[in-house]
Structure 1
Amino acid sequence: MSSHPISGCPGKDAPLATTSFQAPVESHEVTPSLLLPKLSEEARSLWSGRAAGRGRLGAARPRSSRTGALRPPGSSPVRPCASAVPRNARCTRCAPVQRRPLWPGTFAVCRCAAAPLRPPPALRSRSSGGGRKRGAAPLRSSRRGMRERSRPRGRREAGGGAGGADASPRRERRGEPAAGCGHGPAMEEGAADLRQRKKQNCTESDKMAPEERNKENSKLGRSPKYMLIQRFAKLFFGCLAAVTSGMMYAVYLSTYHERKFWFSSRQELEREITFQGDSAIYYSFYKELLKAPSFERGVYELTHNNKTISLKTINAVQQMTLYPELIASVLYQASGSEEVIEPVYFYIGIVFGLQGIYVTALFVTSWVMSGTWLAGMLTVAWFIINRTDTTRIDYSIPSRENWALPYFACQVAALTGYLKKNLNCSAEKFCYLLVNASTYTFMMMWEYSHYLLFVQAVSLFLLDSFALAQTEKVHEVYRIYLFSVIVGYLLQFENSALLVSPLLSLVVALMLFKSLQMNMKKSTFVSRLLKIMYIYLVLTVAVTLNFLLKMFIPHKENGHLLKFIEVKLGLNTTKNFTMNWLLCQESLQAPSQDFFLRLTQSSLLPFYILVLIICLFSATQVIFRRICGEPLKETVKLEDGRIGERPEIVYHVIHTILLGCLAMCLEGMKYLWTPYVCVLAAFGVCSPELWMTLFKWLRLKAVHPILLALILSMAVPTIIGFSLWKEFFPRIMTELTELQEFYDPDTVELMTWIKRQAPVAAVFAGSPQLMGVIKLCTGWMVSSLPLYNDDDLLKRNENIYQIYSKRSAEDIYKILTSYKANFLVIEDSICNEVGPVRGCRVKDLLDIANGHVVCEEGDNYAYSKYGRFCHEIKMNYSPYVNYFTRVYWNRSYFVYRINTVISFQS
């Protein structure tokens, strides 16, 4: 076997020989006679063949190919190309996969056996003086090398396996250079300096990733071209499945909406009545923007709006977060859709399209976590089957969360990819930019977005505190939060609610103590104390900072939210109508048993609990290992069975736990929690790593655990998919084929009468939900709106609701005239309400607030000498007829004109 002419290292797989010479200025071939004077005595002897077959480290096992396979015994050796390659460079004559780690400051000789046979080019001695003199004997850089030199020749030749081929790898593992490969002189005479390894940047990791993949492909006998086609096909079909799922879901929503309301057969007034409550208010401003002579004029009228609520000028864009309506109106007018599609179809089409993006983002999130788009398909199936618990799109299309949550889903998908380890540079930049854009957009679409981002920030804070994620990435996300709050504050007309939000306080506290966190990465007793101190200081400073901001920054919004939380947790009791009315809302109560039964019937909840337990226990093991000083692995392999070392998985575990705690308290939070339950459950059943983690705990030996994990990751989701298809697909098809009709003739008649008979300057008073519909369908001014983020509007609603209490006609008249109301609308459904929960009816809450309750046994309450106003006014007797005159009525509504001149009748 021929050894290398310079280093004397035998075989192809020995480390690259390094010398202290510099690369030639120009590459040309030289003869051995020209090259020998520039080499050492030992190298000349090796080149001339006197030491052939007797390498300094013994005979190594020959290799026959570039992939590193063993060369069959007896086959002819292949000479290396022996090209001088600078540090961190690639050989131009052979494949980049043959590049070896080089010693700093030196040049290497490429040992690729597949390159053409040529002698090495002329090498010049280094001008720095770090190299040894010509002809000097090579020096040994370790004691092992000295022992090899003093060992007898026969013994060295006989023990080649122990002292030859295996010597260099063992030295490399200890961090020492291989003996006889040119490292010794460089180390002894200072030709190469020992430096601390720098952090690997994006460029280096981007270069190393293809080489590692090429090595793995070479071991499997696959060409890089084949692997590239395979990865492209997987990516293409996965993206195609994700986009198709989103489009099909949008088409499904559009078809279901048409079948439910018979939308295309209805007139414009009947279509608008389908928007109830706050949804009617949002769509009414969209109509006003389209009717404005110009977009600028329309925006000005919204920011200085005095035609919606009587005696009140509001900035509707800030107070109601009307950026979705602004964008929809701009797109409708800029695209020239006036003659193609009606405004209502364009509006709901955008919302349905966003829901398609929502589903696509959930698909991609599960795909990124599991590595297979089969998990994405299962996520979409669970999401659609549990549609009543995952979205409110069925009965509240224009609500803010239907506009905002798709962007949050995109942000979560990008954050999931951003937190992954060993991510190449281009993918990391793409995920970072997507997190930026989606976070900014989400902040502008929903007034409560900063609360949801606060929950996400807490998840990242816990993830980083236990050193389960890269600190630099987590702090980059913190900066995104900070800039999003600042941009939102400026674009939302200096919205003070963002400055006093808990998100800003937490992010500022985390940024302040970033330097303290950097000292916690070492596994010492002091670092553990610093970790506890860090968590305590961050929480303390965040709470203190939030308290100080609320003291010095004037803010009015969301003040009722703290009072609601106090009453909800039992820390306080109140008779306030608004607080008790909010507590009685179904979305703000604890979830019912039907909710858990629906999730169990679709098999979502059982699999979620299984996946959550496995991931949680695995993450706990990793945390204990970190506390004991064991570092995290750079790459987690399938056979390791450590699903808890993946930061994106642990993030989703913490995120779903926090959202689940909120969903257990408030049923309305299930629309935030259930979609990510679908994601985590689908990832778990489709992930071989999760099954491998479980089998490693069980110590399964009867069957190969890796093979069984791969089989189960395909078989379990397939079985679940077929069972869901068999049970729920007929139900979905029945929903799409069944024709329904939204029939409300009384409301249609009321809106028609208002548009024909009421004066243009009239102001209507009534329940906030009905006032929203009147504002949308007629455009008339109202005295209250169904909005609950403003204390003044909440007070107005409570006062207007007194028309259903036991108050005198004079009191009601004074309340209504204080808001300049001209007409009063009484709903028979509220006045004669028979609620399933006693004490949660509007009239019951009013009686509690006014002290008129006489229904409870064993308690004595005050008695009102007046009857219920909504009942007494229908009797048409004095003094009610003195203040109010009935002008219209049907089965559901009674309309009274408020007299400006009081006429007393007997």
Structure 2
Amino acid sequence: MGLYYSYYKTLIEASDLTEGMYKITHDNLTEYPSTINTVQRFTLYPEIFVAGFYRLYMSVMEYMELPTKQCWRVERGQNLLPVMSCEGLGDPMFFYVHIVWLMSGMTTMVMFAYGTFISESVAGGFLSVLCFFFNHGECTRVQFAPPLRESFAYPLFLWHMFTVTAYLTFLVGKENHQVNTENKDLLKKLFKGSSILLIVWMCGCTVAPLVTWQFSQFVLAIEAAAVFAMYALRVVNKYTLVVIMLGQGVGVTVAILALYGNVMLICSVYTCLLICVLVFVLILEPIFMRALNPSIRPFLAMALVVSLTVGFKIVVSQWLDNQDDGHILNLLLSKFTDYKDFHTLLYTCSEEFDFLPAMTLHKMTSTLLIPSVIVSLLLVNVYWLRTFLDLDVSWNGKRKKSSTFPAILFNTIMLVPFTVMAVLMMRLKLFFSPHLCVMTALLASRKCFWFLNRQEIHWTLIALLISGMSITGLKNLNEQHSIVGEYSNVELEELLLWVNSTTSRTAVFAGPMSVMANLMLSTRRPVVNHPHYESADLRRRTLKVYSTFSRKRAEEVYTILASMQVNYVVLEDSWCFRRPGIGCSLVDLWDTEDPDNRHRPPLCPSLVLKDAAPFQKVFINDMYVVLHLGAQYVELTMREYKI
């Protein structure tokens, strides 16, 4: 959170937005001594837009001579310095957080529209939103971590899914008689005004989540794969598929340009999948697929596209020498095998990346969310089966098919990977829990309750369901509203004040990733590592910095840090002595990474409690110790002179 907010701070403190943009695109504080483009690396468009709105707001208010905030002095006692506390949109942090709340409100708005659309009932929208509120603690963590990318990107991703759902409803229903449109006719249709508008809209819906969250590319890849699978199974026609894929392809291109050529996005599975799907549909399928047996054609098509995507990604990644997303494969391997290394353990030892706890499923079951989704899926499947077995046929000799069938099938398919993602990594329940709320809306669909003769009975059942949900749901809401408090971290405050008052503004720091983000935010000192772990180079840097928590010799660690041009290294007490779980202390992680030194004692406790030589202790409090890397010796180079 501190890392992302620091760039917003840079943008609003600059003399103008142009200067601020130059500073964050030529940043030498985040990964000293390297100068990096943080917009390219960290998807900082949320901070850019919020900073732009803030500067515009302040200009208007100053022109109108209106007050923007109210401040007061807070005496904290306990020998702590007084602080100024402010409320109002003129306060940068207050403004930033309120934009986050607006984005969270957008999530609710889109969820209402989404639920209304797939259920063809306003009651479905209300039911989705009600489930979201009743399970708010399991659906989002915006209330605890506002600056994280998901706070901005998730509502945009939800809108993207809603757009795809709408396309699958209207375009498939309109063009269902042209499942195998010839390429010549297809190109004519794509250059029509209506098709261009659809592609442009899909492009915009794709760009928005991609430039606000780096993880969006992985979820959008799953979505694109689901649409192609529906095409292979002949649920979606070629025109609909090409419009969706082409719109997303243009969106990816725009996003790559907006992110200054983000290599991770260029090499992503999502980009490679879109290219391979379009190549398959427009080139390979007309040549090879029609001669095959229709019963095996769908599976061969999916296998071929998967193979092309994997091969293309490997080639592109090697060509651009990109390994930024390599840790994701290792992380998945660690879930299914006994594979482990320092980086995967650093993830899996964190609660957010552990398996989904049973308590989460219990909470969502107690609010009747999971039982409601199970019932809705059963009713939908019965309705589909009844439709396919119906002997009535339409005028053209084909069986009747519900106009919402592709949309509901798409959302049902998406629930499968969302469930797997949440089970494997608890943090990813962000996609699972809200989608359950959306799927609950199907209980308000009259098509699902076709066997009820009277609509009043249906509404009575919905009312009973809401009553049952409210028993635990209202309790959950009260618990959420009861979370009131204030933040205080005196030890960190002492550290930051010491850094500001004692060290040079060019002093370079290293230490725990979270501490470095806050140190850079509050002191503007350069750091060599930070919490954005989606970079192969940053992972290598962090591994070197975290050697202070290994069993290596102090002299060896000193040499490693000195080679990174570090002046000060920060040690956190809990990281030296805490035992978070079996195999999850930093010493345990290093025993996996560096087994040759297992016989040695841990270095960090020795640096904190004993002589820190060759380091020099320059600051210590109850939580932090700062070591200074002073020059040990001066090497003189002698020149030879011939007489």
- Select the residue among 675, 678, 701 that pairs with 2:437: 678
CA contact (8 A) 1:324 1:403 kept: yes
Alpha-carbon distance between aligned partners in 1 of 2:296 and 2:390, rounded to the nearest angstrom: 16
Q: CA deviation at 1:588?
A: 2.2
Q: 1:416 is matched with which residue? A: 165
- Residue in 2 that maps onto 1:841: 585
Q: Which residue of 2 aligns with 1:863?
A: 599
Q: Which residue of 1 aligns with 2:125?
A: 376
The one of 428, 432, 435 aligned to 1:669: 428
Describe the shift of the 1:557–1:593 C-alpha distance in structure 2 as closer, same or farther (beyond 3 A): same
Match of 2:80 in 1: none
Contact 2:199-2:246 within 8 A present in 1 as well: no
SS across alignment from 1:369: helix
8 Å contact kept, 1:804–1:831: yes
SS in 1 for 2:504: coil
Q: Counterpart in 1 of 2:614?
A: 883
> What do the CA deviations read for 1:301-321 (whole angstroms, capped 9, x no partner)?
222211232221111110111
What residue in structure 1 maps to residue 65 of structure 2?
none
| Per-residue deviation, 1:735 | 4.1
The yes-or-no answer on 1:795 pairing with 2:540 is: yes
Amino acid in structure 2 at the alignment position of 1:863: H
* Separation in structure 2 between the aligned mates of residue 620 and residue 497 of structure 1, nearest angstrom: 43
Q: 1:619 to 1:798 in 2, by over 3 A?
A: farther
Structure 1 counterpart of 2:104, from 355, 359, 362:
355
Distance 1:671 1:423, change over 3 A: same
* 1:342 corresponds to: 91
CA contact under 8 A between 1:366 and 1:375: conserved in structure 2?
Answer: yes
2:529 alignment partner, SS class: coil
Give the deviation of 1:745 after TM superposition.
1.4
In structure 2, do the counterparts of structure 1 residues 387 and 631 end up closer, same or farther at CA, with 3 Å as the change threshold? Answer: same
Alignment counterpart, residue 323 of structure 1, candidates 11, 27, 45: 45
Does the residue aligned with 1:834 lie in a helix, a strand or coil?
coil
Matches within 5 A, 1:571-720: 573-574=339-340, 576-616=341-381, 631-633=398-400, 646-681=405-440, 683-692=441-450, 695=451, 705-707=452-454, 710-720=455-465
Q: Secondary structure at the match of 2:557?
A: helix
| One of 771, 791, 802 as aligned partner of 2:516 | 771
> After the TM superposition, which of the residue ranges 422-431 and 785-794 deviates more from structure 2?
422-431
Matches within 5 A, 1:210-229: none
- Structure 1 range deviating more: 495-504 or 321-330: 495-504
Q: Is the 8 A contact 1:454 1:502 kept in 2?
A: yes
Deviations 1:108-135 (A, max 9, x none): xxxxxxxxxxxxxxxxxxxxxxxxxxxx
The alignment partner of 2:276 has SS state of helix
Please state if 1:547 is matched with 2:291.
no
CA distance 1:334–1:820, change in 2 (3 Å): same
Contact 2:356 2:426 in 1 (8 A): yes
| 3-state SS, counterpart of residue 138 of structure 2 | helix
Three-state SS of the structure 2 residue aligned to 1:556 is coil
Q: 2:134 aligned with 1:389, yes or no? A: no
Equivalent AA in structure 1 for residue 37 of structure 2: N
8 Å Cα contact 1:517-1:531 kept in structure 2: no
Q: Which amino acid aligns with 1:691?
A: F
Counterpart in the other structure of 1:873: 607
> CA-to-partner distance for each residue in 1:72-116, whole Å, 9 max, x for gaps?
xxxxxxxxxxxxxxxxxxxxxxxxxxxxxxxxxxxxxxxxxxxxx
Q: Gaps spanning 5+ residues in structure 1: where?
A: 1-278, 637-644, 696-704, 854-861
| Aligned residue type for 1:496 | V
Displacement after TM superposition at 1:457 (Å): 0.7
Consecutive unaligned residues of structure 2, counting only runs of 5 or more, are 63-67, 69-89, 176-191, 635-643
Of 171, 181, 204, which aligns to 1:437?
204
Which residue number in structure 2 is paired with residue 227 of structure 1? Answer: none
- Alpha-carbon distance in 2 for matches of 1:690, 1:844: 54
Match of 1:832 among 570, 577, 580: 577
Cα distance in 1 between the residues matched to 2:377 and 2:332: 28
Supply the distance in 2 between the matched residues of 1:569 and 1:742 (Cα, whole angstroms).
39
- Pairwise CA distance, 1:511: 2.0
1:219-241, Cα deviation, whole Å (9 max, x unpaired): xxxxxxxxxxxxxxxxxxxxxxx
Which one of 443, 459, 463 corresponds to residue 226 of structure 2?
459
Name the residue aligned to 1:900. 631
Q: Deviations over 1:198-224 (max 9, x none)?
A: xxxxxxxxxxxxxxxxxxxxxxxxxxx
The answer to whether residue 494 in structure 2 is matched with residue 749 in structure 1 is yes
Question: Larger radius of gyration, structure 1 or 2?
Answer: 1
Overall identity of the aligned pairs, in %: 23
- Partners of 1:322 and 1:848 lie apart in 2 by 35
Relative contact order, higher structure (CA 8 A, sep 6+): 2
Distance 1:527 1:305 in 2: 56
Q: CA 1:886–1:329 in structure 2 vs 1: closer, same or farther (change >3 Å)?
A: same
Indicate the RMSD between aligned Cα atoms, in angstroms: 3.2
CA distance in 1, matches of 2:534, 2:127: 37
Distance 1:676 1:448 in 2: 17
Any conservation in 2 of the 1:414–1:431 contact (CA below 8 Å)?
no
Mapped to 1, the partners of 2:121 and 2:149 lie a distance apart of 32
Instruction: Check whether the contact 2:367–2:468 (CA below 8 A) recurs between aligned residues.
Output: no
* Paired residue secondary structure (1:886): strand
Q: Secondary structure at the match of 2:506?
A: coil
Equivalent position amino acid for 2:444 in 1: C
Aligned-partner SS, 1:845: helix
Deviations 1:394-431 (A, max 9, x none): 22211111111111111222222222245799999987
Q: What is residue 509 of structure 1 aligned with on the other side?
A: 276
CA positional deviation for 1:513: 3.2
Q: CA 1:605/1:558 → structure 2, altered by over 3 Å: closer, same or farther?
A: same
The alpha-carbon distance between structure 1 residues 661 and 712, as it changes in their structure 2 partners (threshold 3 A), is farther
The corresponding residue for 1:237 is none
- Give 1:597 shift: 0.6
Note if contact 2:118-2:442 (Cα within 8 Å) is conserved in structure 1: no
Contact 1:885-1:897 at 8 Å conserved across structures? yes
Assess, with a 3 A threshold, how the Cα gap between structure 1 residues 780 and 588 changes in structure 2: closer, same or farther: same
Aligned counterpart in structure 1 of residue 31 of structure 2, from 300, 309, 314: 309
CA 821–622 in structure 1, closer or farther in 2 if over 3 Å, else same: farther
> Hey, what's the Cα distance between the residues in 2 that align with 1:734 and 1:665?
27
1:262-277 equivalent positions in 2, closer than 5 A: none
Query: Residues of 1 paired with 2:278 and 2:419: CA distance?
Result: 28
Residues 1:552 and 1:760: Cα distance change in structure 2 (over 3 Å): closer
* Distance apart, 1:344 and its partner CA: 0.8
Q: Give the equivalent residue in structure 1 for 2:76.
A: none
Conservation of the 8 A alpha-carbon contact between 1:806 and 1:868? yes
1:671 maps to amino acid:
L
Q: Secondary structure at the match of 1:760?
A: coil
Residue 447 (1) aligns with residue 181 (2):
no
> Match of 1:589, as an amino acid?
D
3-state SS of the aligned residue for 1:690?
Answer: coil
Distance (Å, rounded) in 2 between the aligned partners of 1:713 and 1:521? 46
- Structure with higher helix content: 2
**Structure 1 CA distance, aligned partners of 2:563 and 2:105?**
47
